[in-house]
Amino acid sequence: MTALADATLEQVDALAALTETLVEVERTISRLQAARDGILAVGSRLALQVAEQAEHPDHGEMSARTVAAEFAAALRISDRTVQRRMADATWLVERFPLVWEAQGEGRISAAHARVVCEAGEHLDDAASRAAYSAQMIAFAETEAPSGVARMARRVAERFQPRSIDERHRDARKKRSLWVKDVGDGMSQLGMLGPSALVHGAFDRLTQMARSMQQHEPEQQPQQEQEQEQGQEQEQEQEQEQEARERVQKQEQRPGQEREQQPGRGQAHADPRTLAQLRADLAFDLLLTGAPLGHDRPGGSLAAIRGSVSITVPVTTLMGVDTTPAELNGRVPIDPVTARRLAGAASGWDRVLTHPVTGALLAVDRYRPGPDLRRHLRARDQRCRFPTCGYPPADCDIDHHHDAALGGVTAESNLGHLCRRHHMLKHHSPWTVEPMGDGVYAWTSPSGTTYIDRAPRQNTVTFAEEDEGREGREGVGAGVITAPPF
């Protein structure tokens, strides 16, 4: 294989021109990203100036939220995301101005700037940061970000006046846990914590997973009898495992058959991969284990059980349709999982929707409960500030017209707002006006109005057939349509 050895001179020249153009485009992108950071930093500074002039007791937090909401509504993205970007941009521009200028000139990329700043995050002295920045910029102009990151950590350590113990105490304050939805009914669970604990937890899960791969303990007859009387879900899992074992046996070559087939009283390997076992064990421990290091007398923390909200069309539950269910009003999940969760649920909210438009009509429940709250949860599905996606479980129910001033406690005057946007509504120039049918008009401090509509219900709607269409039997046949996610 000769790759490009047979290319003509014209083709080689074309490749060189493409490479040169690509390099220039990347430099332009870096310049624009630096310009965006400058704009966001100015927005932060403007919010702080307003707060200082008015002597706000929150030191500009509400002003920053107000500015971020203005930017976010115009950009159609989350204002939390914008405020984080504003904070990051201010940190870059004010603490590492040389790095920001180098990116603005196209000498380094945003990836280079990020690793340089992250490695020098704990350099408190301005002179040390400037000297560190100058040294790393020169190095970054000819190296990839991965190489720059390694060198930056070494160089930053030379300028670091604080011990690793002091810095670790500060870093521990940033420990956190977060969820990111990735589609196909799957989500990521991320964690930031002390390295010793994170690696220790990972190693424990790895050892447990390898033990399950190598051996499964013998089951006593009484245990087998209890398992036969177990839930249908466990039986289905056993059948699936046996099917996988049969496939594996059929795929083995003639000289590779096992001397013994797994049976009663014998060990057999778990077919799951090491990564799959780690994940399954982690969920098992998180959802069923007790926090022994933090629990209160009486085990009140151990008694807490995780819960999720599932919205699933009745046709999907019946197995006659494949419209995905939704988790917490935002993440599609597969029908099999939805039916299993539905079968184990202790109570149901029934969401009645219009068969043609899909609009929410009513919410009721077999067991008595706060009907209005359930109706609002089913209608809103999230915080009703534009671009916010917080689920109702994490929100307050807000009276749009203050109840103390005569606002009624009715569906037309109530809506879900997360605590952040609830505070924004009451303590900033942002205003909201209900327009009816779950539609809200938000007006920003600059006078721009943004319309927020409730998410479409996860339901199946029916459209009448064209009069000239033939080929269906019966009267009143319709076409099933599912709303897009």
The residues facing 452 across adjacent strands are 440
* Residue 201: pLDDT over 70: yes
What 3-state class would DSSP assign to 137? helix
Q: Tokens 């993440």 sit at which residue?
A: 331
DSSP result, 138-199 = HHHTTS-HHHHHHHHHHHHHHT--S-HHHHHHHHHTT-EEEEEEEETTEEEEEEE--HHHHH
Pairwise CA distance, residues 97 & 94, whole Å: 6
Higher pLDDT, 226 or 196: 196
Structure token pair of residue 163: 């011990």
Residues 6+ apart with CB under 8 A from 234: 227
Lowest mean pLDDT among 91-100, 355-364, 426-435: 355-364
Q: Tokens 């509509």 sit at which residue?
A: 453
Q: Is 193 left (phi over 0), alpha (psi -120 to 50) or beta?
A: beta
Residues 6+ apart with CB under 8 A from 337: 185, 325
Q: Tokens 């009003």 sit at which residue?
A: 329
What 3-state class would DSSP assign to 333? strand
Q: Tokens 């039916």 sit at which residue?
A: 339
The residues facing 362 across adjacent strands are 352
Q: In the 8-state DSSP scheme, what is residue 410?
A: S
Q: What is the CA radius of gyration of the chain?
A: 29
pLDDT at 63: 92
| CB-based contact 213:277 (threshold 8 Å) | yes
Higher pLDDT, 292 or 367: 292
pLDDT at 26: 93
* Residue 481: pLDDT over 80: no
pLDDT at 20: 94
pLDDT at 157: 84
Q: How far is CA 109 from CA 35, 38, 40, 141, 253, in A?
A: 13, 15, 18, 9, 53
Q: How large is the average pLDDT for residues 302-329?
A: 71
Query: Which residue type occupies 217?
Result: P
- The tens digit of pLDDT for each residue in 370-419 reads 688 888 999 999 999 998 989 998 899 898 887 667 677 788 888 999 99
What 3-state class would DSSP assign to 256? helix
Q: Tokens 């499964």 sit at which residue?
A: 216
Q: What percent of the chain has pLDDT over 70?
A: 74
pLDDT at 362: 60
Closest listed residue to residue 396, CA positions, set 371, 424, 368 = 424
Beta-strand relationship, 449-453 and 461-464? unpaired
Q: How large is the average pLDDT for residues 445-470?
A: 79
Lowest mean pLDDT among 56-65, 270-279, 349-358: 349-358
pLDDT at 300: 64
Lowest mean pLDDT among 143-147, 228-232, 305-309, 455-459: 228-232
Q: How large is the average pLDDT for residues 195-223?
A: 74
* Residue 224: pLDDT over 50: no
Lowest mean pLDDT among 128-132, 300-304, 320-324: 300-304
Pairwise CA distance, residues 56 & 428, whole Å: 12
- 305 pLDDT tier (thresholds 50, 70, 90): low
Closest listed residue to residue 334, CA positions, set 182, 185, 187 = 185
What 3-state class would DSSP assign to 332? strand
Lowest mean pLDDT among 42-51, 83-92, 230-239, 314-323: 230-239
The residues facing 449 across adjacent strands are 443
Pairwise CA distance, residues 200 & 135, whole Å: 36
- The tens digit of pLDDT for each residue in 319-347 reads 777 777 777 666 677 777 777 777 666 66
Q: How large is the average pLDDT for residues 173-185?
A: 89
